[in-house]
Structure 1
């Protein structure tokens, strides 16, 4: 099994294009976002006030024995701390709230966008990668608002205000305090670059893990049938090792950087104490100023240490945003520009000179021409890869044709509103997909207009009512993921009920009985005939015995129509269909 790994690199921190696109999601909450900036400015303005009050308390009240003045300062300081705590709470809550509502909006828009994508897109894109986009990447984007953008603005404003107050109080002591700043800036820059690379590796590893797990858990029966557990485990272990190494590398950089930053800060405080002490002893510097400067340094160095982490958070958010917007801007969706929405259709189908390729000019269908009248049954026959399933996918507009035209009731299917077109077409596939939910949900797919009585009437028609009634809870029985608690035949019967309950005018059966045993096939064959009555039907079947009554049998070979006619006519011609019929008779006899 192939492993499609994803590798991405961080971009610029300030990507104006990405920020503009993000702003479109911020716009509905612009008032709250502006208020968040106001709170950020308020916190930055309050940051240097505590050391100022403490300096004033020591130099003007403690040193002079002014108890009343000291009590007033203490009250003011407590009030300041309470105000700061309230603003900090509002800031933290609001930044988190904005982040969550924005990622909710983006996730809804992204999922709605995915619902409109062509099946070709899902054929070419690992599902695990799409899960990463919808979950991990969007969660990373939330951090841009809660820990990135607003936090960076707050840290920078705090640095400016603290630095301004420090120069105002004592510019000489400020210069001494900042003597170790170049060391901290250099170490912070090195840390930021190293952690950025580690974060990239972590994001890539997470995406690859999601893709690998989704693919291999879904295909676990293939892994076990062919005894590939050990080899596939080795692949998983290798990806998991990459994930571990990337995380450990980032942990190592943090464990080095923070002690180094603490040492640099301690050296700075030591220089302030040394220089300040000489000033205090020489009566050139007050004790309160020295103590406040120690506090200023602690306040000043903290945002610098945090900035490296915040810039990486912002940078990874920009990368995640770029990947999300790239997906949102993908044009691989089916254009739904039609406006024709008939309540009922007759079900006439015309394919004229239809050419189709999944990849450029690797033709799967070549110059397909046939016509189906209202109420007729047309059977498509041919070897695997002949193009049978491609034809029914094109009629339902799961894929777009390259050339030619497909018409329903004389109108090009592109003129139909897409939902309306598909509402009139009932499809029963060989590979039945059931959601982890009740039988009732899997039949109605959450459509509130379909009653339980209608479901049971359809179930009675196709012979599924008896086995549904025997299940615990009946229609409320939970079939588990992909219908794991039901047999293949039971899942197929549910798919018949699902098609019938929508009462479509066009019925498509794609190998609908090939997965069931002979007894079950006989039970539902009469139901199929009832379903086809009065409906235009297109049937794909390997068992030729099920299509002998078809009005027209179309024999496909390598994407081209080789023969066309009734069962008796094709047998008389002695061509490909006759040979295939003879082979099936021999296999049944043997």
Structure 2
């Protein structure tokens, strides 16, 4: 029952099959083909542009800081030369000509008979201390500003994702497992934040250090600098090969994380159902399978990328040996001073260290770019069509007309074909039919949750595609079979449909829908807190609150999708009277499976496979002895058989 979707050569994930209209847990994952590392990295870097002024300041501070840090070893080498020359000068008798000095020290700044000038050494050390303190302060300031830039960038990214979600069509959420979507919005953005925060400062400093140190190395000894550079192509080649193998692993890791989150969210949401049917072992086995797959790809990603650091250290040690040997020979030949060789060795370490740091950040950078790639897939998803300019506002009569409407969720599976009907103002239109016949789809089209393929739908004579969606939906009150409540008080949940409602209006809606009857039994009344699932209320009580919410909106068009399915028979009877009053002077669409609840409807539509096969009143359809009569008789026959048993 699962279809495999193509992602990347390194990863295939089994996604649960589903289709539009099946809820958030149906359908496969979004973003089937991973983008390349470089385009995704460039796009992530481009998001830093709004803070380009601060970014330029960060670069300037980094340049000065790195320049100071790079000059330090050269000056410190001068202190070594002072100490070494003083030590050698102490060994040579005063007045000895240079021709009689040891060959290794000829040409050096040695004064025969003079020892170490500790004042000069102290002066040099104070200069070096001041340089390092200044470099550290500038480095701290650079990090502070860069952190501000990164956090602003991530905050903007989160806001863009939030805005994007509000512009996505309902079909996107129908196709995307909820856990997978949550993983992109939370885990992936957090990983991007961590990556930028940990890599940007080090990466910038490391790159500038490489160039600064390289310049100092050529200044001291071009030969030794060329020797040190021999290892750079080796480092780049090794890093490129490892990155090539590990990037796909990181993409797979985060896709697997999304798949695991989807399974966990689904299992927790349906925890009671899992218990009822005793499917704990199957759920645990599925979790273990997903967890093992995530562990495998995570191990592969971390292990492969982890090879970069030891490889770079090995190459760096080879470089250190070559520099030490050749430098010692040049000191022995008098071509370099001991302080210059000491400074060069420090530079060679400073040269390989940032390269090693860059290499060690590659795995974190790859992980962050892989997460950014998934976030960009969300940001690039197709949005709802933009509302037409100069859009017309709907009226308040509530006349709805379908004119030769055709619609399909999938290209090769037509659902509604050439459907026409008119719902007059004040009429109650009931829609009945077997599961999958298109009943809920019909009201989804009225709400413009989906756009039709052909024909048109009008509200009070105005094509709904010519209306702003917000204006259209503000005229509609909708009560679904699934009761969606929000964390807050009962009062807040009722007022959600009309935030500006007064206390009297909220109480009137609650009394009309019999919410007031059970609220007084709660300790805090209307201020009683409920969680987002309403677990501290019964299913019927939750549904009463959603009906009260629709009452409060005072809509021109009312849509009830099995709105009384979770209430008891007595409450349902009371609600029927209340909704009859609510439906006065407004058009109502009622989707019902229990045909006893829609006997008084002005018009009953019987749908099969997306088409209206019958329409009329209850009595007319029973007299026709067609599809409606068969549905009606099957329900009451089943009830009668049940009573006999």
TM-score normalised to structure 2 length = 0.83
- Residue by residue, what CA displacement relative to the aligned partner does 1:471-526 show, whole Å, maximum 9, x if unpaired? 23333323224222211101110110111121111111111112222132123222
- Asked whether the 8 Å contact 1:5–1:208 carries over to 2, the reply is no
How far apart in 1 are the matches of 2:135 and 2:192?
Answer: 27
The match for 2:580 is: 529
Deviation at residue 176 of structure 1 after TM alignment: 4.6
* Aligned 8 A contact 2:68 2:132 in 1: no
> Is the Cα contact below 8 Å between 2:254 and 2:371 reproduced in 1?
no
Instruction: Answer whether contact 2:428 2:588 (CA < 8 A) is retained.
Output: yes
User: Which has the larger displacement, 395-404 or 75-84?
Assistant: 75-84
Aligned match for 1:49, one of 62, 66, 71 = 71
Q: CA deviation at 1:319?
A: 4.1
* Residue of structure 1 in register with 2:139 after alignment: 88
Deviation for aligned residue 1:60: 3.6
2:312/2:359 contact within 8 Å kept: no
CA distance in 1, matches of 2:74, 2:37: 35
Q: Cα offset for 1:531?
A: 1.7
The alpha-carbon distance between structure 1 residues 178 and 577, as it changes in their structure 2 partners (threshold 3 A), is closer
Cα contact 1:61–1:69 (8 A) shared by 2: no
The match for 1:14 is 38
Among candidates 117, 122, 130, match of residue 66 of structure 1: 117
2:112 match: none
Unaligned residue ranges in structure 2 (runs of 5+): 11-33, 87-115
Matched residue, 2:291? 240
Q: How many residue pairs align between the two structures?
A: 588
Structure 1 residue runs without a partner (length 5+): none
Which residue of the partner structure matches residue 571 of structure 1? 622
Partner of 2:488: helix, strand, or coil? coil
Does structure 1 retain, via aligned residues, the 8 Å contact 2:65–2:134?
A: no
Alignment of 1:123-162 (within 5 A): 123-142=174-193, 145-148=196-199, 151-162=202-213
SS at structure 2 position matched to 1:449: coil
Query: How far is the alpha carbon of 1:162 from its aligned partner?
Result: 0.6
Instruction: Decide which structure has the larger Cα Rg and report it.
Output: 2
* Alignment root-mean-square deviation, CA: 2.8
1:561 aligns with 2:615: no
Could you report, residue by residue, the CA deviation over 1:10-53 in whole angstroms, capped at 9, with x for unpaired residues?
755432x8735852x33322211222222332333233122112
| 2:270 matched residue in structure 1 | 219
SS of 1:483's equivalent? Answer: coil
Per-residue CA deviation, residues 253-293 of structure 1 (Å, 9 max, x unaligned), is 46655345434434433443344344445554323223222
Alpha-carbon deviations, 1:33-79, whole Å to 9, x = none? 22222233233323312211211222246744333333332332222
Equivalent residues in 2 for 1:113-512, closer than 5 Å: 113-142=164-193, 145-148=196-199, 151-178=202-229, 180-181=231-232, 183-253=234-304, 256-281=307-332, 283-337=334-388, 339-340=390-391, 342=393, 345-445=396-496, 448-512=499-563
Give the secondary structure class of the aligned counterpart of 1:482. coil
* Aligned CA distance change for structure 1 residues 489 and 20 (closer, same or farther; 3 Å): closer
What CA distance in whole angstroms lies between the structure 2 residues aligned with 1:295 and 1:135? Answer: 43
Distance in structure 2 (CA, Å) of the matches to 1:492 and 1:224: 24
Q: Shift of the alpha carbon at 1:187?
A: 4.0
> 1:333 offset after TM fit, Å?
1.9
**Partners in 1 of 2:451 and 2:382 — Cα distance?**
13
Structure-1 separation of matches of 2:324 and 2:602: 100
1:547 aligns with 2:601: no
Structure 2 partner of 1:28: 50
TM-score by length of 1: 0.91
Offset of residue 152 of structure 1:
3.7
> Distance in 1 between the 2:37 and 2:638 partners?
67
